[in-house]
Amino acid sequence: MKITFLGTGTSQGVPFINCPCDVCNSLNAKDNRLRSSIWIQTNDTNIVIDSGPDFRYQMIRAKVKELDAIIFTHGHKDHIAGLDDVRPYNYFSNKPILVFATEETQQALKREYSYIFNYPTYPGIPQIEMNTINASEPFYVNGIKIIPIRVLHYKLEVLGYRIGDFTYITDANYIADEELIKVNGSKAMVLNALRHEEHISHFTLKEAIEIGTKAKTDAVYFTHISHQLGLHDTVDSQLPKNMHLAYDGLTLHL
């Protein structure tokens, strides 16, 4: 399995519009962060988790030639705003994109993209095949087992996912012990770490380090990072040895 970080930024991305801070004006490419998303490749399957507002550019930048499925973590705009841009994949593959989402996330998709779901349809709209996730049960994408992990984003339930030896969790500020157990044994865990100061719905870096330490994993990568966290190289150099700041374009091979 190959994992590519398509984006590692928070909802407004980095640089933050009109911000004069050192991070937003950094010349280090690792300080430029599109909205959070990952691309998972196996021998015959390509899966993207979340299609945010940068989805089109992320697909072009990473040269994602084929796409089989999009799995959504939740229905916030920075995670669903790019779904319309699956149309080129429909055109070249002549088939719908598999979409996996909970019923609650599907309601957000239907509000945002009513023209996909309303009838009669018309030529040129995105072609998707909706699959409902039951957060209590594993599901499969082309035979690949995916285990949902329930986390809280303030009061909203968000799903993380365990796929083989890889775990991806974003937009969380609470993970129950019985859900964290599902992470155990992962070779790599991805977890959100927004900034140093407390936030109502996201882990701080300190809190994320504590969760990463508690989880029984080989390595932890932090994502959904804001400009308030600091310069990539500075923060990364201060992390425990098995923990790292992720950055756009980073690839993992498991």
Beta pairing class for 188-192 and 220-223: parallel
pLDDT digits (tens, 9 = 90+) for 27-52: 999 999 999 999 999 999 999 999 99
pLDDT digits (tens, 9 = 90+) for 207-216: 999 999 999 9
- Token pair 């991805």 in the structure block, residue: 190
Contact 191, 212 (CB under 8 A): yes
State the pLDDT at residue 53: 98
pLDDT digits (tens, 9 = 90+) for 182-241: 999 999 999 999 999 999 999 999 999 999 999 999 999 999 999 999 999 999 999 999
Average pLDDT over residues 94-113: 98
State the pLDDT at residue 116: 95
Task: Sheet with 139-141: list strands edge to edge.
Answer: 139-141, 144-153, 156-163, 166-168, 188-192, 220-223, 243-245
State the pLDDT at residue 58: 98
Q: Hey, what are 118's tokens?
A: 């309303």
Burial call 15-39: b when 16+ CB within 10 Å, e when fewer = bbeeeeeebbebeeebbbbbbbbbb
State the pLDDT at residue 1: 97
Average pLDDT over the chain, rounded to whole?
Answer: 97
pLDDT of 119 over the 90 cut: no
State the pLDDT at residue 120: 81
Backbone angles phi, psi at 243, to 5 degrees: -125, 145
pLDDT of 122 over the 90 cut: no
Domains defined for the chain, CATH in brackets: 2-253 (3.60.15.10)
Contact 220, 241 (CB under 8 A): no
State the pLDDT at residue 153: 97
pLDDT digits (tens, 9 = 90+) for 59-97: 999 999 999 999 999 999 999 999 999 999 999 999 999
State the pLDDT at residue 208: 98
